[in-house]
Homo-oligomer: A and B are copies of this chain.
Amino acid sequence: MTVVGRRERKKLATRAALRETALRLALRHGVEHVTVEQIAAETDIAVRTFFNYFSSKEEAMVAAVAAEADALIGEFRGRPRDEPVLRALREAVAHVMAVSDTEALRLIVRAPSLLPQRLAVYATREKALAEAIADRLGLSPDDLYPAVCAATALTAMRVVLERWLDQPADHAALREQTEEVIGLLAAGLERRLP
């Protein structure tokens, strides 16, 4: 196991505390009205130190999304090896979303000022997911398929999530819509006028 010293534990704790404070303040006052100074003060941390952890207030706020994306990749890697890629992804999403904080997620997804940073988070996770897919299939991470599959699948999940957050929270509906989208990707996206 990875033996973590006090130092690393404190760092993780500080990072988590900043992330939670940022989100809490955003929920209370609205994303736009929270400043780094407030986040730092509320966490009892110097402003300068905040910037040692996050390069912007937006990054701190979408850190929750980043954590969920990491969890998704972890779940995916834990799926049985003989399971097809898209099905494994579908199940991974279901497991992660089951324990997700819908209220916070809705706040983050609906804030226009967080859109660029949120998308950047997904984009960086694309790489990790592509590697996981390549591992699963015994391909090279440089192949086209893992890259495209990771990127498009994540994007499809994002679309589903955004649509789902616009309706009353219903986890059964989310599962259903996830399956529908995965079905689309699996069956092929080509269409023409009937």
Contacts and interface: CB of A to CB of B under 8 A. Distances in A.
A169 interface: no
Chain A: number of interface residues, binned into ranges: 35 or more
A103 interface: no
Interface in A129-169: 136-138, 144-145, 147-149, 151-153, 155-156, 158-160, 163
A125 to B, nearest CB: 13
B193 A186 contact: no
A192 interface: yes
A94 to B, nearest CB: 17
Interface string A155-189: 11011100100000000000001001100111111
Contacts of A193: 81-82, 136-138
Contact of A123 (B119, B138, B187): B119
Interface of A: 81-87, 115-117, 119-120, 122-123, 136-138, 144-145, 147-149, 151-153, 155-156, 158-160, 163, 177, 180-181, 184-193
Closest A-B pairs by Cβ, 9 of them: A116-B116, A119-B119, A84-B192, A188-B188, A186-B190, A152-B152, A155-B155, A116-B120, A185-B189
